[in-house]
Amino acid sequence: MSKKTGNRQKNKPPKVGKRHRKLGTAPGTVTYLGNREGSPSKIECITYDENDFEKRVIATPEELLKQPGAGQTQWINVVGVSDEQLMSRLGVVSDLNTLVVEDIVNTEQRPKVDEYDKYIFGVFKMLYLNAEQQIVKEHVALVLTPNRVYVYQEIEADVFDRVRQRILEKSGRIRSRGADYLFFALLDALVDHYFMILEQTEERLDQLDNEIYTEPTQHTAYKIQQLRKEIINLRAWMGPVKELLGRLIQSESTLITKDTQVFLRDVLDHAVEINETLHIQREMAFSLMEMYMSSVSNRMNEVMKVLTIMASIFIPLTFIAGIYGMNFSNMPELQWKYGYFLVLALMIAIFMIMVVYFKRKGWF
């Protein structure tokens, strides 16, 4: 039992409760809520335009006060947000509202998009499968300014690797477009990874469907239940993206060009598909449970039939044997020469009749 319980703890969705650490603090208080306290932050700055590309590590936030050159786009990649002081300094340097910085380090913040005059701020959930094929959820905060995109992550996952690679390719479209296109490309990568998660949940649904049909156990029910919970959580993490993108597309902010909005519409298409798929998977998981219950009932029926057949055939026969086991002094049949054989014949006849009866009933 202990091993199973162990597995369950590992997979557990993050608690609402981490919140209570912040209980009663003033709004705008920068409090890290994740569980990677003390891991150092790493700030990386990728500067590029159509011709040049430069990547360097930033030592102090204040280096960022120097703006990129004209036509250049910068991707400020921050890995590790547990250092509350550093984050505050970064916020000041980047001219961010303290409420924004609060949300950057609040790893339990649900997906959101806030538009400010000078920047657009978004929180999303990065979802991917780890080596053990478990769903990992990471907090990602994005800030889009006219020539920079800030990316805040807890750990360096490989979700954005392809974007990085595309920047390296000199001829790539991403190089010739501005920060808003980079912002889109990152969102696109994020949402594309959601499909991998859905692919896995779909496979698990299929496996469970199979398992119910072939070898259902109580553990099957437990796995259905776990999958259901995960799908519910996925909806909370992925679901809001659709609405947030819709708002970005209809936004009147000058930070996002018309060209990029066309691309965002493409991501929105994916978000719509994701929501639909989640809806279908939820329905499937629900009907799996019903299916499981029906299979349990059927198996009980089978068990009952075996019992009933055995009991119905042998109880009357045993009764007959019992009669002739009685010790009355005057039992004429006992003295008959073929009494014993007659009774045996009778028993076989009853046996046959019962077998035929249950066969007719379709019980075996």
Phi, psi of 78 (to 5 degrees): -105, 120
Work out which of 166, 168, 176, 246 binds a second copy, going by CB under 8 A: 166
Q: Are 106 and 81 in contact (CB under 8 A)?
A: no
Kind and range of the H or E run holding 231: helix 218-238
Q: Is 214 helix (H, G, I), strand (E, B) or coil?
A: helix
Q: Which residues share a beta bridge with 113?
A: 122
Least distance (Å) between residue 146 CB and a second copy: 22
Give the pair of three-digit tokens for residue 142.
Answer: 């994005």
Q: How far apart are CA 95 and CA 317, in angstroms?
A: 93
Q: Which stretch binds a second copy (CB under 8 A): 7-15, 54-62, 67-75, 138-146?
A: 7-15
Residue ranges in 15-44 that form contacts with a second copy under rule CB under 8 A:
15-17, 19-20, 22-28
Stretch that binds a second copy, among 38-46, 67-75, 142-150, 159-167 (CB under 8 A): 159-167
- Measured from the CB atom, is 26 or 131 closer to a second copy? 26
Q: Smallest distance, Å, CB 130 to a second copy?
A: 16
CB of 8 to a second copy, least distance (A): 8
CA dist., res. 261 & res. 221, Å (int)? 45
* DSSP-assigned letter for residue 160: G
Q: Which residues contact 41 (CB under 8 A, 6 or more apart)?
A: 78, 79, 80, 81, 82, 83, 86, 87
Segment lying near a second copy (by CB under 8 A), choices 42-50, 54-62, 80-88, 302-310: 302-310
Report the C-alpha gap between 108 and 98 in whole angstroms. Answer: 17
Which residue's CB is nearer to a second copy, number 41 or number 251? 251
Q: How many angstroms separate the CA atoms of 241 and 274, rounded?
A: 10
223 binds a second copy (CB under 8 A): no
Minimum gap (Å) between residue 137 Cβ and a second copy: 15
Least distance between a second copy and beta carbon 138 (Å): 17
Identify the residue among 12, 66, 258, 360 touching a second copy (CB under 8 A). Answer: 12
| Distances from the Cα of 74 to the Cα of 22, 52, 100, 139, 177, angstroms | 33, 12, 20, 21, 12
Hey, which residues between 179 and 208 contact a second copy (CB under 8 A)? 185, 188-189, 192-193, 195-196, 198-199, 202-203, 206
Binders of a second copy among residues 121 to 140 (CB under 8 A) are: none
Element (H, E) at 124: strand 120-129
Contact residue for a second copy among 42, 173, 247, 359 (CB under 8 A): 173
Give the H or E element holding residue 129: strand 120-129
Candidates 32-40, 74-82, 230-238, 244-252; binding stretch for a second copy (CB under 8 A): 230-238
Q: What does the per-residue mask of binding to a second copy show for 304-343, with x meaning CB under 8 A?
A: xxxxx-xxx-xxxxxx-xxxxxxxxxxx-xxxxxxxx--x
Query: Based on CB atoms, which residue is closest to a second copy, 62 or 161?
Result: 161
CB under 8 Å to 221, separation ≥6 — which residues?
289, 292
Which one of the spans 66-74, 79-87, 222-230, 244-252 is the region binding a second copy (CB under 8 A)?
A: 222-230
Residue nearer to a second copy on the CB measure, 66 or 337: 337
Q: Does 290 bind a second copy (CB under 8 A)?
A: yes
Give me the 73-112 binding string for a second copy, x by CB under 8 A, dash otherwise: --------------------------x----------x-x
Residue of 65, 92, 303, 353 interacting with a second copy (CB under 8 A): 303
**284 C-beta neighbours (distance < 10 Å), count:** 19
Count CB atoms within 10 A of the CB of residue 100. 19
**Alpha-carbon distances of 77 from 140, 229, 282, 286, 326, rounded to whole Å:** 11, 33, 35, 41, 94
- Which residues ranging from 248 to 287 are in contact with a second copy (CB under 8 A)? 262-263, 266, 269, 272-273, 276-277, 280, 283-284, 287
Give the residue among 58, 65, 63 at the shortest CA–CA distance from 43.
Answer: 58
